[in-house]
Amino acid sequence: MKLPTPVLALPVALAFAASAAAPASAQPAGPRSSPKASVMQTIGTAEVTITYSRPAVKGRVIWGDLVPWDKVWRAGANEATTIAVSQDVTVDGQRLAAGTYSLHAIPGKTEWTVIFSKDAKQWGSYKYKEADDALRIKVKPEAGEMKEWLTFSVTPVPPDSGKVTLAWEKLRVSFAVRTAEAPKAAK
């Protein structure tokens, strides 16, 4: 028995409407153009973890153009970059309590301000507020070899310190991290 066309059309229309109303998170997502990455390093007795998205240069002018001078930048792409420290540390000699922070920067031609914000869950730096700062430090940018993809690295300097470096394009900025308490020697 052949059903009349209107009877078939209703289930098809309802199925289409239900799929169109599905949340975006239920839709399959493609790869990000700035893939997510993280680096973890033990410094002394503290774990330092940086989670970020890695934009590529792609032939663009980065410093002073894509990333403007003297404006707050998320130190990566997509969500704000985060830095988590498992215990109290010092960053370039200033105390930073254990916790997770969003990491922002204000790039300048001769000096950068690196910001550790208590608001770790934000998209980019769009809702950044200076009132949420846990710490600000000043660092000097340095020239380096070409790095197509933004990269964070943590280089341990035993027994209780390390250096965090952001490298992208032909520029590097670094800061020192030291555990508040030196690790005890093994017996």
Structure tokens at 104: 């922002």
DSSP H helical ranges for 43-85: none
Domain ranges of the chain: 31-179
What sign has the CA pseudo-torsion 16, 18, 21, 26?
A: negative
State pLDDT tens for residues 118-175.
989 888 778 889 999 999 999 999 999 999 999 999 999 889 999 999 999 999 999 9
pTM score over 0.85: no
Per-residue model confidence as pLDDT tens digits over 50-89? 999 999 999 999 999 999 999 999 999 999 999 999 999 9
